[in-house]
Amino acid sequence: MRFEDQRKLMIKEQIIQRGITEENIINSFLKVERHLFVPIDLQHLSYHDYPLGIGAGQTISQPYTVAYMLNLLDITSTDIVLEIGTGSGYQTALLAELSQYVYTVERIKVLSINAKILLSEMGYNNIYFQVGDGSKGWEKGEPICKAFDKIIVSAAAPTIPKSLLKQLNDNGKMVIPIGNRYQQEMVVITRGKNKYLKSTYGLFSFVPLIGKEGWHL
């Protein structure tokens, strides 16, 4: 089966049939070719419903998990988004389709460089990259951006990093898996004028968020 057909089947069976039907999300998954973001020897598994290794001990999340997190964030075309955990760049590309600008942080330099090369070759010009401690957010990143409309964290933290809370705009949303190293709850934080509202959604398993405000090596 062609990759295009596999992608359409993935969207139908793994995303739409599981309740995610927002047109902008579906269109982004149709456009972004997941097989380009995994190692060549794993490309035949690109559209299956599980995470895949991308090197350096990291993974690309299963398609449904990515769609689920994007759905929780309710991203609009004018949003400025902070992504923690660039990985191979798959979710970054989806975010670039959905929002105005994406600022993405990756701890592992080779992953960030490879994602930047690939996404640039694909024609994305609304993405900014930083190599650094994702638990600190866009701290000291270029160009300067101190607050974001949406924040998505693709690694698990033991608690919600205070630096990320501070970088969330009023009425902004952050989605982040919180728990131990083996199982986490999906947490959505919405920032009000004087408080943060917290909601939880289901159990997941992510690689750990390594950093000063995450897990230590």
**Closest-CA residue to 12 (of 3, 24, 2, 21):** 21
- CA end-to-end span of the chain, whole Å? 41
Q: Tell the residue number behind the tokens 């690939």, with chain if given.
A: 118
Return the active site residues: 61
CA 65 to chain centre: 10
> What does each C-alpha distance from 174 to 8, 71, 90, 125 come to in angstroms?
29, 12, 19, 24
- Rounded Cα distance between 144 and 148, Å, is 11
Query: Do 100 and 80 meet the contact criterion of CB atoms below 8 Å apart?
Result: yes
Question: Within a 10 A sphere around the Cβ of 64, how many other Cβ atoms?
Answer: 17
- Rounded Cα distance between 95 and 80, Å, is 10
